[in-house]
């Protein structure tokens, strides 16, 4: 399985990152057997990059992944990414030094590991000086509890400012960015973040890579919606004329390659400048195997242009 280097780090990751937001009581996988089967399928297909966060099901996603690594003995086979900063409780959020130090210990315990490969600021915290946040992350790297750090949901300006602070103080710098990006949601990343990421050599691991499932092929015009709360959000955001034009283009390319819509949507992302590894979640081993096919799918220049044009 091919790999890509994440930013300037030494992390060699597979071009598809498995999302852990589906695990836990608020996710779509709530039983251990199914979770283990999904994670097993990802590793068996050659995947090595798993992303989660402390806030996913209030820690339960980390707990489930930790149990899987412990029972399967897979810790040394995966690059583990988690996050800090979103609200865990009214008094537990942000990127202040004290809170970061408390949160990393909680995550390490839930994950049953001694080190987190990629520890990410889940969102910017403008109430805390960047010097304090970057200094705290730097100390975690020096202590060996974190190998590298990353950012999520930052503006281009704040991302560049954070890197400048790290350079000025000799701190560890953000090696990755986690932005919203997919064939439908393109403006935020392509108008600033993409250019900054490439300039600063920051790896990009996009979230909602399948537009909350819209690009998976489950949503069609004049068809009954899937039975899930998420379906209402998909309907509101994507089930419109523009969304269906994009989906039609994805279907055409998928038919030409005899593959699925999700595979094509992910392969398009992997081919975009600056993208290291889109994040996608699967709720069954079969889904995971389909997602992983995107790593090997080679879209033509004509395919890529047609898909890009459909959303304009």
Catalytic residues, by residue number, are 56
**Which residues lie below 8 Å from residue 126, measured CB to CB, with a gap of 6+?**
158
Rounded Cα distance, 264 and 291, in Å: 9
Helix (H) or strand (E) holding 188: helix 187-188
Nearest to 33 by CA among 287, 292, 283: 283
Q: Provide long-range contacts, Cβ within 8 A and 24+ apart, for 228-234.
A: 228/28
Largest CA distance in the chain: 57
SS3 145: coil
The Cα 92–Cα 107 span in angstroms is 13
Sign of CA dihedral 69, 270, 123, 89: negative
96: burial class by Cβ within 10 Å (0-12, 13-18, 19+)? middle
Q: Report the candidate in 234, 228, 230 with the shortest Cα–Cα distance to residue 215.
A: 234
C-beta separation of 270 from 296 below 8 A? no
Structure tokens at 211: 């537009």
DSSP letter assigned to residue 204: E
Percentage helix, strand, coil, to 5, in the chain?
50, 15, 35
Measure the CA–CA gap between 255 and 34, rounded to whole angstroms. 30
124: DSSP letter: -
């Amino acid at each position: 399985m091919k790999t890509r280097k994440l930013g300037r780090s030494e992390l060699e990751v597979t071009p598809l990152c498995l999302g852990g937001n589906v695990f836990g009581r608020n996710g779509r996988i709530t039983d251990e057997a199914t979770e283990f089967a999904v994670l097993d399928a990802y590793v068996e297909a050659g995947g090595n990059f798993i992303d989660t966060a402390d806030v996913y099901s209030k820690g339960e996603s980390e707990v489930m992944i930790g149990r899987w690594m412990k029972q399967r003995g897979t810790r040394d086979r995966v690059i583990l990414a988690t996050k800090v900063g979103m609200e865990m409780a009214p008094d537990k959020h942000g990127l202040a030094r004290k809170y970061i130090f408390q949160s990393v210990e909680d995550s390490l315990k839930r994950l049953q590991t001694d080190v987190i490969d990629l520890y990410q600021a889940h969102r910017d915290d403008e109430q805390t000086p960047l010097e304090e946040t970057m200094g705290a992350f730097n100390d975690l790297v020096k202590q060996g509890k974190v190998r590298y750090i990353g950012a999520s949901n930052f503006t281009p300006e704040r991302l560049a400012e954070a890197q400048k602070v790290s350079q000025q103080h000799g701190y560890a710098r953000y090696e990755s960015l986690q932005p919203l990006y997919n064939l439908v949601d393109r403006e935020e990343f392509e108008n600033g973040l993409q250019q900054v990421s490439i300039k600063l050599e920051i790896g990009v691991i996009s979230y909602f890579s399948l537009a909350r499932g819209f690009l998976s092929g489950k949503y069609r015009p004049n068809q009954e919606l899937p039975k899930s709360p998420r379906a209402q959000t998909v309907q509101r955001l994507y089930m419109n004329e523009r969304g269906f034009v994009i989906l039609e283009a994805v279907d055409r390319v998928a038919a030409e390659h005899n593959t699925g819509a999700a595979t094509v949507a992910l392969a398009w992302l992997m081919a975009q400048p600056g993208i290291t590894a889109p994040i996608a979640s699967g709720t069954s081993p079969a889904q995971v195997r389909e997602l992983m096919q995107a790593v090997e799918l080679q879209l033509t220049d004509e395919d890529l242009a047609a898909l890009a044009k459909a959303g304009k």
